[in-house]
Amino acid sequence: MKRTWQLTSTAEGATFDLRFGYGVHTLGSGAGSDLRVSHPTVSRSHARLTCTDDGITVEDLGSTNGTAVDGTPVDGPVVVADHAALKVGGVIFELGPLQTDDAENRLFGLFLALVSLGHVNFRGTSFWTRFGRRTAPLVFSGYAVAVMTLILVGV
């Protein structure tokens, strides 16, 4: 299952809340950085975060003030556990998977299922009787989406 990751920090009155998914991301203060941190101790291209099915790998990109994971300086690619303290220059981030609420996901799935069924039933009259037999694929697809959504969400 693909995850969304989050870096959070409050440094000297500045709050950082960075979210990212799978792939290779550059963290730094420069305009070309995927994850931008405007702080005087963070280099333009400070660190590289690589997110895969195996987790996150952190690598310092030759920054001036260094990178550390759980207090240990990063001298090469370091695989990070699910939760870690990531120090980039003078900013300490809490790194971990973005927490999602299962109840929220189930409600959203139920909403999608109801919307799908709404496409099948239009003001109390099915598309089949209202618009004729040409819409049979539409009727089937609406029911299929509703059923599959309910199954995937586990409602």
- Is it the case that residue 117 has pLDDT exceeding 80? no
Q: Is the pLDDT of residue 129 over 90?
A: no
In the predicted structure, residue 139 carries a pLDDT above the cut 70 = no
* Confidence (pLDDT) at 32: 93
pLDDT digits (tens, 9 = 90+) for 46-71: 999 999 877 899 999 999 999 999 99
What is the value of pTM for the model shown? 0.62
Contact 119, 112 (CB under 8 A): no
What pLDDT shows up at residue 83? Answer: 87
The number of CA neighbours under 13 Å toward the Cβ of 58 is 27
Q: Is it the case that residue 37 has pLDDT exceeding 80? A: yes
Average predicted confidence (pLDDT) for the chain: 77
Q: What is the pLDDT of residues 70-112, one digit of tens each?
A: 999 999 999 997 789 999 999 999 998 876 655 556 666 666 6
Q: Does an H or E element contain 120, and which?
A: helix 102-120
pLDDT at residue 130 tops 60: no
Which candidate, 71, 78, 58, 74, places its Cα nearest to that of 5? 58
Percent over 90 (pLDDT), the chain: 40
d(CA 42, CA 61): 11
Residue with the bigger pLDDT between 123 and 93: it is 93
